[in-house]
Amino acid sequence: MLKKSAANVVGLALALFFLFPTYWMITSALKPKGSTITSDYDLIPFSVTFTNFVTAWTKPGFLSSLGNSLLVTLTAVVAAIVIGITAAVAMSRFAFRGRKSFVLLMLVAQMAPFEALLIPMFLMMRDLQLYEHLSSLILVYFAVTLPFCAWTLRGFVNGIPIELEEAAMVDGCGRWGAFQKVTLPLLGPGLVATSVFAFITAWNEFLFAKVLIRSQDSETLPVWLSGFQTAFGTDWGGAMAASALFTVPALVFFLIVQRKMVAGVTAGAVKG
Amino acid sequence: MTAVKTTETAAPAGDIPPALPPAVTGGARKRRRRGGAFDRALPYLLLAPALIAILWLIGWPVVSVFVTSFRQLNLGELVRGEIVWTGFDNYVTVLQDERFWDVSVRTLVFTVSVVVASVGMGLGIALLMRVLTPWVRVALQIAMLCAWAMPILASTTVYQWMFDQNYGILNKTLVQLGFDSFAGYSWFSSGTSTLSVVGLLIVWQAIPFLAFSLYAGLVGIPRDLYEAAGIDGATGWQTFRAVTWPEIRSLLMMVTFLSTLWDFKVFAQIWVFREGGPSGESTTLPVLQYLEGIAKSHFGVAAAISVLMMVILGLITFQYLRKLLQTEEGKI
């Protein structure tokens, strides 16, 4: 019993360790101007205001970079998912010459160290006249997420018994009909989980966003936030509010898939 | 990318023998004869977009980085569109530069420390979660989820604020606890100290994924194995060695491998804290590549650094990668 309560104490201490930065981000953002930068010991806020959020929201560049981030991320992820599904279906539902090589190619491609391809990517985008255009980022994020999407979705498609599709085809569905009416709905949870992880990857990306985009109008949120000192000076309250706003979409998506993801991992561990 | 999930979710599917094409089974056979050529081409048509994209956007850059590393390519050559071959000159330049070796050693030490710390703590927390009271476990999981979900640039900004020299909560707390020397203490005055803060940030954000994955693996171990060990009178450590360890070993190897891939190429956090400073002391290989290639426009030299980065990463992951490809090939 003593052992168990000791474990619980350690568990709670760790929970505090993981939670503290989030707590500190939110409370700093809620503090009135002038009481963030203070020598007083202010672990617990006593007055709450939302002015920092207004400041961050109306800062030049915040809204446009938020829009750019959403545009780039969503376009890249949708493209990667659509093309990923077709590749996944081909790899898992058909027997054809070269299948094994394709599957291994996807596995290797998703482990490619993209950061090491910075220079050729930069040169390529320059040659294509896409340098400084958001479309260059869309292409890069699409390429980063595509192998992962194809590989993961292949696992999900494999998990759907092919007999279901066959039954639909016996009942008179065409191949497309069987896919659309049987496989696609069953693939739903897998699609959600895969696209969320692809979304997070693109949402976080910093190096290419910094290198390929130089004009302020086309900046994405990570790059804008990295230069927050030019925007906020030492206004840490405003910077924390901006960080909090940046976190919200990611956190929402995470909460959606969290359960699915762990369930998936568990299933793998039981059988593997 | 979160590829573990990948392999893990793919694992149950991997046990199912590769699905036969619908064409081979009964009712569909006639259909196949009718549209034979189209059906044979269909898988290739479905794969074509993905294949073209991968060859164009990953395959070509991989070729290009090798080619560029043998060229003299600075801003002048780039603007004039000149092609100047210099053989191994870029490699000689890089390898003779003492800074490159310092940076490589630093990158390796940094990667190994971060990987060992995060995987070790991830495993520890996964083991701990099994014995926690349910509400404590849920609290810990929610807290870890918050850390995991925070975008990298947001968490980097928060850490900058917490470690701020004058008004950071850490220094203020240390002063409150009686360590007066921390008033106005700068955590970024040396490379080691800067990288330690970056390392803490990365470990803090990496643990949740590791702990969740490993915990899921632990939960999957059949309970009767533990009952049997209990009946045999095994101690806690013996049970861990004989039951837990063999069951999660492969999962542990997998997440260690992925952590190595991810932590080796960290750029954003290091760059945002001090741009590789003070005086280059927190520069790692990805930062060096950026400085040479983008900041100084020495694209040829930077490409040589990129190639050497891939070589180093390949060397440290080679053993595992080979094994992984073999097992996966068997499963396909």
Which DSSP string do the residues of A24-84 spell out, in sequence order?
HHHHHHHSPTTSSS-SS--SS-SS---HHHHHHHHSTTHHHHHHHHHHHHHHHHHHHHHHH
Nearest to A119 among B3, B161, B306 (CB): B306
Is there a contact between B47 and A91 if contact means CB atoms under 8 Å apart? Answer: yes
CATH architecture of residue range(s) A66-220: Orthogonal Bundle (1.10)
Q: Which own/partner contact pairs does B86-94 have at CB distance under 8 Å and 24+ positions apart? A: B86/B300, B90/B300, B90/B301, B90/B303, B90/B304, B91/B304, B91/B308, B93/B301, B93/B304, B94/B301, B94/B304, B94/B305, B94/B308
| Cα separation, A113 vs B257, whole angstroms | 13
Nearest to B9 among A140, A155, A253 (CB): A155
User: How high is the mean pLDDT in each 10-residue block of chain A (272 residues)?
Assistant: 86 95 92 77 80 86 91 95 93 87 87 90 90 92 94 88 85 85 84 86 92 89 83 81 90 73 41 31
CA distance readout (Å), B42 to A96, B177, B272: 10, 70, 48
C-alpha B297 chain-centroid distance: 27
Nearest to B6 among A86, A151, A206 (CB): A151
Is there a contact between A211 and B3 if contact means CB atoms under 8 Å apart? Answer: no
Average of per-residue pLDDT values in chain B: 85
Determine the straight-line distance between the first and last CA of chain A, rounded to whole angstroms. 34
| Contact residues, B window 236-295, toward A, CB-based 8 Å cutoff | 248, 250-251, 261, 264-265, 267-268, 271-272, 286, 289-290, 293-294
Q: Judge residue B242's burial from the number of C-beta atoms within 10 Å of its C-beta, 0-12 exposed, 13-18 middle, 19 or more buried.
A: middle
pLDDT tens-digit series, residues A51-97:
889 888 888 888 999 999 999 999 999 999 999 999 999 998 888 88
Contact between A113 and B261 under an 8 Å Cβ cutoff? The reply is: yes
| Cα separation, B286 vs B270, whole angstroms | 10
Does pLDDT of B119 surpass 70?
A: yes
Q: Which amino acid is at B59?
A: G
- Asked if residue B208 has a cis previous peptide bond (ω within 30° of 0), the answer is no
Q: Which CATH superfamily is domain B89-331 in?
A: MetI-like (1.10.3720.10)
Name the DSSP letter for residue B284.
-
* The predicted structure's pLDDT at residue B21: 43
Does pLDDT of B187 surpass 70?
A: yes
* The predicted structure's pLDDT at residue A260: 58
What pLDDT band is residue B181 in, cutting at 50, 70 and 90? confident
Contacts of A162 in chain B (CB under 8 A): 19-20, 22
Q: Give A138's contacts (C-beta < 8 A, 6+ positions apart).
A: A72, A75, A76, A79
* The predicted structure's pLDDT at residue A34: 73
Q: Which residue of A has its CA nearest to B212?
A: A262
What pLDDT band is residue B74 in, cutting at 50, 70 and 90? confident
pLDDT tens-digit series, residues B233-275:
888 888 888 888 988 898 899 899 989 999 999 999 999 988 8
Token pair belonging to A163 = 């007999």
User: Phi/psi at B71 (nearest 5 deg)?
Assistant: -110, 150
CB atoms within 10 A of CB A58: 9
Helix (H) or strand (E) holding B230: helix B223-231
Nearest to A15 among B31, B140, B272 (CB): B140
Q: Judge residue B222's burial from the number of C-beta atoms within 10 Å of its C-beta, 0-12 exposed, 13-18 middle, 19 or more buried.
A: exposed
| Cα separation, B114 vs B95, whole angstroms | 26
How far is the alpha carbon of A64 from chain B, nearest alpha carbon, in Å?
17
CA distance readout (Å), B180 to B184, B185, B225: 9, 10, 53
Contacts of A242 in chain B (CB under 8 A): 157
| Cα separation, A138 vs A213, whole angstroms | 12
| Cα separation, A22 vs B143, whole angstroms | 9
| Crossing angle between the packed helical segments B191-219 and A2-30, to the nearest 10 degrees | 130
Token pair belonging to B289 = 């590549």
SS3 assignment, position B67: helix
| Cα separation, B89 vs B83, whole angstroms | 15
In chain A, domain spans: 66-220
Contacts of B5 in chain A (CB under 8 A): 152, 193, 197, 261, 264-265
Which region, left, alpha or beta, applies to residue A220 given φ > 0 means left and ψ of -120 to 50 means alpha? beta
| Cα separation, B223 vs B305, whole angstroms | 50
Does pLDDT of B331 surpass 80?
A: no
Residue keyed to tokens 């081979």: B24
| Cα separation, A232 vs A59, whole angstroms | 9
State the Cα angle at A193 between A154 and B332, rounded to 5°: 20
CB atoms within 10 A of CB B17: 8
* The predicted structure's pLDDT at residue B147: 92
Token pair belonging to A99 = 């299948």
Is there a contact between A10 and B128 if contact means CB atoms under 8 Å apart? Answer: yes
C-alpha B16 chain-centroid distance: 29
Q: Which residue of B has its CA nearest to A137?
A: B57
Average of per-residue pLDDT values in chain A: 85
Q: Give B228's contacts (C-beta < 8 A, 6+ positions apart).
A: none
Nearest to B306 among A118, A155, A165 (CB): A118
Nearest to A41 among B6, B137, B172 (CB): B172
Does pLDDT of B96 surpass 90?
A: yes
Is there a contact between B267 and A142 if contact means CB atoms under 8 Å apart? Answer: no
Identify which has the larger pLDDT, B195 or A177: B195
Mean pLDDT over B77-92 rounds to: 88
Is there a contact between A104 and B328 if contact means CB atoms under 8 Å apart? Answer: yes
* The predicted structure's pLDDT at residue B28: 41
Token pair belonging to A269 = 């561990």
Q: Which amino acid is at B309?
A: M
Any CB–CB contact under 8 A between B5 and chain A? yes
β-pair partners for B85: B71
CB atoms within 10 A of CB A101: 11
Is there a contact between B128 and A14 if contact means CB atoms under 8 Å apart? Answer: yes
Contact between B94 and B308 under an 8 Å Cβ cutoff? The reply is: yes
In chain B, domain spans: 89-331
Q: Which residue of A has its CA nearest to B2?
A: A197
Mean pLDDT over B179-199 rounds to: 90
* The predicted structure's pLDDT at residue B25: 40
* The predicted structure's pLDDT at residue A4: 84
Identify which has the larger pLDDT, B19 or B146: B146
Selected for mutation to probe chain A from B158, B223, B269, B325 (highest A CB count within 10 Å) is B158
Token pair belonging to B176 = 């409150």
Is there a contact between B139 and A15 if contact means CB atoms under 8 Å apart? Answer: yes
pLDDT tens-digit series, residues B150-166:
999 999 999 999 998 88
CA distance readout (Å), B322 to A3, B318, B327, B329: 42, 6, 9, 11
Any CB–CB contact under 8 A between B53 and chain A? yes
* The predicted structure's pLDDT at residue A68: 93
| Cα separation, A52 vs A245, whole angstroms | 11
What stretches of B233-282 show up as alpha helix (H) in DSSP?
Answer: 236-239, 245-264, 268-274
Nearest to B9 among A92, A113, A268 (CB): A268
Any CB–CB contact under 8 A between B51 and chain A? yes
Selected for mutation to probe chain A from B40, B157, B284 (highest A CB count within 10 Å) is B157
* The predicted structure's pLDDT at residue B303: 94
Tally of residues, chain A: 272
Q: Which residue of A has its CA nearest to B313?
A: A113
Does pLDDT of B313 surpass 50?
A: yes
* The predicted structure's pLDDT at residue A236: 87
How far is the alpha carbon of A269 from chain B, nearest alpha carbon, in Å?
5
Query: What are the percentages of helix, strand and coil residues in chain B, rounded to 5?
Result: 80, 0, 20
Does pLDDT of B14 surpass 90?
A: no
How far is the alpha carbon of B223 from chain A, nearest alpha carbon, in Å?
12
Name the DSSP letter for residue B244.
I
Contact between A187 and A153 under an 8 Å Cβ cutoff? The reply is: yes
Does pLDDT of B80 surpass 80?
A: yes
Q: Which amino acid is at A176?
A: W
* The predicted structure's pLDDT at residue A183: 85
How far is the alpha carbon of B110 from chain A, nearest alpha carbon, in Å?
17
Q: Which residue of B has its CA nearest to A197?
A: B2
Is there a contact between B1 and A155 if contact means CB atoms under 8 Å apart? Answer: no
Count CA atoms closer than 13 A to B185's CA, side-chain side: 17
How far is the alpha carbon of B318 from chain A, nearest alpha carbon, in Å?
13
Token pair belonging to B199 = 């390392």
| Contact residues, B window 153-212, toward A, CB-based 8 Å cutoff | 153-159, 161-162, 164, 166-167, 169, 172-173, 176, 204, 207-208, 212
* The predicted structure's pLDDT at residue B235: 85
